[in-house]
Amino acid sequence: MSKEHKAKALKELIFTIIIVSTSRYEKIVKGEEVTDPSGEIALQLIEQFNFKVAEKLIIPDNPEAIRQSIINGLEKADAIVLIGGTGLGSKDYTYEVVKGMVEKEIPGFGELFRFLSYREIGSSAMVSRAYAGIINGKLVACIPGSPNAVKLALSKLLLPEVGHILYHVRKG
């Protein structure tokens, strides 16, 4: 990013982190202890970039829960990161829901994510359905649920550029 773009980038941004995991959600409902390494990594990275987190929640992987969580998150945050539910399984809905809500796609995010993943894990990177776009003037991204995917997507792509992206969205 050029110095000019960096100077114009928005710096005071708020995130919502949504972990899409039916198994973790069901444990919460049962009152069982839940570990969430990917969500914790996301929280730490966002704070390291000096952004705030409005909330971090765990939801089941079903279309209505995902849709409603995005709608609620848009009221509280400038950017929403959905972690998980991006696979090719019959119960992975994150990509479809987000894609159906997005007004403007950011195809470079998914392309770069898969490219960088390919360098790390090889050809299996092609099945990643990492995706990002704009909904109601806010950045919404869905990324795979593995800790490495979260680190890659946030530290190399989203967090360095979110201020620049939202500057352009908001200037009209």
d(CA 135, CA 86): 18
What is the structure's pLDDT at 8? 77
Domains observed in the chain:
10-171 (3.40.980.10)
Distance CA 165, CA 16 (A): 17
Q: What pLDDT does 135 receive?
A: 98
> What mean pLDDT, rounded, does the chain reach?
95
Q: In this model, does residue 45 exceed pLDDT 80?
A: yes
Using alpha carbons, select from 24, 30, 33, 89 the residue that is nearest to residue 58. 24
